[in-house]
Structures are given as structure tokens and as C-alpha cells.
Amino acid sequence: MPGRFWEKEIDTLKPKDLQKLQFRRLQKTLKQAARSPFYSQLFRKHRLPPEKIKSLTDLKNLPFTTKQDLRDQFPYGFLAVPREKIVRLHSSSGTTGRATAIFHTQKDLDGWANLVARCMFMAGVRKEDVFQNMSGYGLFTGGLGFQYGAERLGALTIPSGSGNSKRQIHLMQDFSTTVVHVIPSYALHLWKVFEEMGLDPKKDTKLRMMLIGAEPHSEATRQRLEEMYGVEAFNSYGLSEMNGPGVAFECPEKNGMHFWEDDFLVEVIDPKTGKAVPDGEEGELVYTTLNREAMPLIRYRSKDLATVYPEPCPCGRTHRRMSRIKGRSDDMFILKGVNIFPLQIDTTLMNIPEVGTNYLIVLERENFEDRMIVRVEVRPEFFKGDLFQLEKLRRQITEALRSEILVTPKVELVEPDSLPRSEGKAVRVMDKREM
């Protein structure tokens, strides 16, 4: 089949040659990283200058880099180029504590666009396609990341951004959109809007493909979306620290997502011990950038849990594959594409004096829409108060949470001691979305 690969040579590089390329790029990356305040100090502390790292095994003598390091070094401690050379800032979609800043040079952005184009081409997007990107454009990487990738591929792009469902549908119809990039929970919701408008996406649009990612979802969700929309849906994975989209993506075999190992060195570790786990076993994904200038990251712990499949893929690509994300080694959860840590909710609630000691976060999927319910115990003296006061408190809590996590939860005030308590660690989050 002609034209199956975006860059045939790279896509199908023999594992041995891929390793050689990785090592060459790793050395360059380490030298580049040494220009940043953080890594220059780290190399000195561990007496491991880049020249001394002669194999991928040597690399493991360097400690992991963590999100906390990124926060501690905010904003410029990881920067490895002069400020004039950086042209863009992105950050994680969460709002926990201090933001993390990821910088790119123009060369970094070009490399990233090429990776996203490679992903899209692999799934089967071509320049004749009309591509509508329903991701938020802004600091979140799904907007601009896919935008430049799709332009690089040569498709007509519609940067529709997130939300505004009716307009999304009108755009799809007016310009005969064939491919969309969308967060799965939003795609489920959008289907309801089609229904409300008396439309059937299968008959009333030209959609043929859906690229879904940014949040955990099951095979069942994918199949449901494929049926609802009459499309093929492909899983797209990335994280802002590794650019964003373009880290791993499904090929037409849909048997896992190929990492782009010419750009990322992937390790899988046991999150408790930090030791490597064998291929085929679940662990936490750890990444080293291999082609980044502004902000190389070495052995970055993603907290994402998955399994790596080393077996060759029938599609002919030699880059290894990963399973769906099975969970996180921290307690972060993702709602409507936004990263949320229970600690944020805890802090917000506990700062409100009327709030009692216990609360429960319930994540539900109703009518294909994800929502968060926060059940909050109220202190006895306030609970006895009049209904008007209670409603006022409920609104105040809702607003405080909304401004902290950027998602509006449904807040329910409950009687003191009415929520279940566990013997050991409190179970604060009940995720009922995939049940």
C-alpha cells in the first residue's frame, strides 16, 4: 500500500538502528540540558557530566525528574536556551498549586507539529480531509498542538475550540468535516445535542474519523462513540511536559498506541521502588525528551500507569506500543479534560468554616455527560439553620470550588456524620464513570 507512512524511514527503523539514533540524540539532549540551571546542578551533584553517560544503562544513575521539580524551578529553572530563543509557553491543564511552565523554541514547535502530523497520518488522516479541532486553544496543548500538526499534514483545519455545541455541529455540516479531535466525554455529550437538534451524525455529517484523548476512557467508550457517530475512533495520548499530543497514538490495528521512540526515551518503572519493570508488565511511564532544545527533560515521571508491548506490530512500525492508561500513581483524576487533585477540593472545603469534617467526591456519567458531585457534611450548628442560609452556603461552596478547579461541581449539603467513613485512609473519590 503506497503512502502508508508519514516518514517511512523513521516509522520502520530497525530496533537496533532506532536504539543508535536514541543514544545519539540522548547525548545531545544531555549536553543541552546541562545548560539549564537545574540539570547543570544535578549533573554536578551526582558527578555525572553528560560525557560520562555512555549507555542507556548509565542514564539510570541519574535521579528522576518530577512535577515537584518543575514547580520548584518555576518558571525558568529548566530553561536550556537564552530567553530570546523561546517562542511559546504551555502548561498543564490542571490548576494545582503553582503552575508548571513548558517552553518551546521554534525548532521545538516544528518538531512537535511533525510528530502530531505523523500520528494523524498513521491513523489515516490525509490532506483532503477537513479537520475540526474541538480542543481548548490556549495553554492546554490539545488546541495548538493539533492545529499545527494538522496544518503540517495539509488538511483544511477548523479551529473550533471547545464548547459551543450547536456551532460545532453547524461547522461540521457547513464545511463537511471528516475528522474531529475531541475529548471523549465531550463527544458523548455532543451526541445528545445532535439528538436535540433532530440530527443524526451518521446521516447528517460527513464524519469518518474521531481522534480522542486527553482523558482516560475505556474500549467500551470508544466502541460506543464509533457506533454513535459511524466513525473510526483512535486513541491519542500525550502530556504537556512532553509537548502534549504526539507522544503515542493508535495505528489502524488499534492494538495499543505507538510511542515515537525517536523523540522520547520511554522507561517503565515500579512506582513504589523506582526500579524498571519488564516489558509487558504494568508500571509508571518515565520519559526523556530526545529532540528538545528549550527544555529537555530527563527521566520525567509521568505518574501515568500503563503496559508497554514490545512485540512487532502488523502495521510495520517498529516503535513500541503502550496500553491504554490504566490509572495514575498519584490520586489525580481528570474530569472533562481538566486535571484535578483531591487535595485542591480538600483545601477549598476545609477553608470554609461551616463545612464539617467529611465529604465525598462522586464522579458520574449521566446521559453521556460526566459530572462531579461533592457531598459535604455541614457542621451541626449550621445544618440546623434556615433553608435560605443553607442554600446560600451551598452556592458559596460551589463557587469556591469552581474557581479552584475550573469545573462546576454539583454540591449537596448533607447532615453531619451521614457520609460513610472508612477504617483506614479516607476514600474521598468514588469514580463511577466506567461502571
Sites of contact with ligand AMP (CB under 6 A):
92-93, 141, 213-216, 235-240, 244, 302, 304, 325, 328, 334, 339
Q: How far is the CB of 280 from Zn ion (least distance, A)?
A: 17
Measured from the CB atom, the residue of 233 and 315 that comes closer to ligand AMP is: 233
Q: How far is the CB of 210 from ligand AMP (least distance, A)?
A: 12
Measured from the CB atom, the residue of 22 and 240 that comes closer to ligand AMP is: 240
The set of cell numbers assigned to 417 is 456524620
State the binding partner of 240 from ligand AMP, Zn ion, none, CB within 5 to 8 A by kind. ligand AMP
Measured from the CB atom, the residue of 244 and 409 that comes closer to ligand AMP is: 244
3-state secondary structure of 111: helix
Give CA torsion, residues 279, 280, 283, 289, to 10 deg.
Answer: 50
Q: How far is the CB of 337 from ligand AMP (least distance, A)?
A: 8
State the binding partner of 251 from ligand AMP, Zn ion, none, CB within 5 to 8 A by kind. Zn ion
Measured from the CB atom, the residue of 132 and 235 that comes closer to ligand AMP is: 235
Q: Are 213 and 245 in contact (CB under 8 A)?
A: yes
Measured from the CB atom, the residue of 115 and 169 that comes closer to ligand AMP is: 115
Long-range contact set of residues 52-57: C-beta below 8 Å, sequence gap at least 24: 53/26, 53/27, 55/23, 56/19, 56/22, 56/23, 56/26, 56/265
Q: How far is the CB of 248 from ligand AMP (least distance, A)?
A: 8
Q: How far is the CB of 16 from Zn ion (least distance, A)?
A: 19
What are the two backbone dihedrals, phi and then psi, of residue 317, each rounded to the nearest 5 degrees?
-80, 140
Q: How far is the CB of 285 from Zn ion (least distance, A)?
A: 18
Residue 83: DSSP 8-state: G
Q: How far is the CB of 40 from ligand AMP (least distance, A)?
A: 26
Q: How far is the CB of 377 from Zn ion (least distance, A)?
A: 50
State the binding partner of 141 from ligand AMP, Zn ion, none, CB within 5 to 8 A by kind. ligand AMP
Measured from the CB atom, the residue of 111 and 238 that comes closer to ligand AMP is: 238
Q: Are 387 and 352 in contact (CB under 8 A)?
A: no
Q: How far is the CB of 102 from ligand AMP (least distance, A)?
A: 9
Q: Does residue 269 bind Zn ion (CB under 5 A)?
A: no
Q: How many residues bind Zn ion (CB under 5 A)?
A: 5
- Sole residue written with cell 520519559: 287
3-state secondary structure of 430: strand
Query: What is the Cα–Cα distance from 150 to 119, expressed in whole angstroms?
Result: 10
State the binding partner of 315 from ligand AMP, Zn ion, none, CB within 5 to 8 A by kind. Zn ion
Measured from the CB atom, the residue of 304 and 377 that comes closer to ligand AMP is: 304
Q: Residue 292: left (phi > 0), alpha (psi -120 to 50), or beta?
A: beta
Distance of CA 263 to the CA centre of its chain: 17
Identity at 115, one-letter amino acid code: L
Give CA torsion, residues 223, 225, 230, 236, to 10 deg.
Answer: -90
Measured from the CB atom, the residue of 304 and 354 that comes closer to ligand AMP is: 304
State the binding partner of 215 from ligand AMP, Zn ion, none, CB within 5 to 8 A by kind. ligand AMP
State the binding partner of 33 from Zn ion, ligand AMP, none, CB within 5 to 8 A by kind. none
Interactions with Zn ion, residue window 242-261 (CB under 5 A): 251, 253
Measured from the CB atom, the residue of 63 and 314 that comes closer to Zn ion is: 314
Burial code (b: 16+ CB inside 10 Å, e: under 16) for 360-374 equals bbbbebeebebbbeb
Measured from the CB atom, the residue of 262 and 304 that comes closer to ligand AMP is: 304
Measured from the CB atom, the residue of 38 and 234 that comes closer to Zn ion is: 234
State the binding partner of 339 from Zn ion, ligand AMP, none, CB within 5 to 8 A by kind. ligand AMP
User: Which residues lie below 8 Å from residue 3, measured CB to CB, with a gap of 6+?
Assistant: none
Q: How far is the CB of 323 from ligand AMP (least distance, A)?
A: 10
Site string for Zn ion, 307-326 (x = CB under 5 A): ------x-x-x---------
Query: What is the Cα–Cα distance from 89 to 102, expressed in whole angstroms?
Result: 6
What are the two backbone dihedrals, phi and then psi, of residue 81, each rounded to the nearest 5 degrees?
-135, 160
DSSP for 135-156 reads SPPSSSHHHHHHHHHHHHHT-E
Q: How far is the CB of 108 from ligand AMP (least distance, A)?
A: 16
State the binding partner of 313 from Zn ion, ligand AMP, none, CB within 5 to 8 A by kind. Zn ion
The residue among 291, 239, 299 whose CA lies nearest residue 26 is 291
User: Which residues lie below 8 Å from residue 261, measured CB to CB, with a gap of 6+?
Assistant: 18, 22, 319, 320
Binding site for Zn ion (CB under 5 A): 251, 253, 313, 315, 317
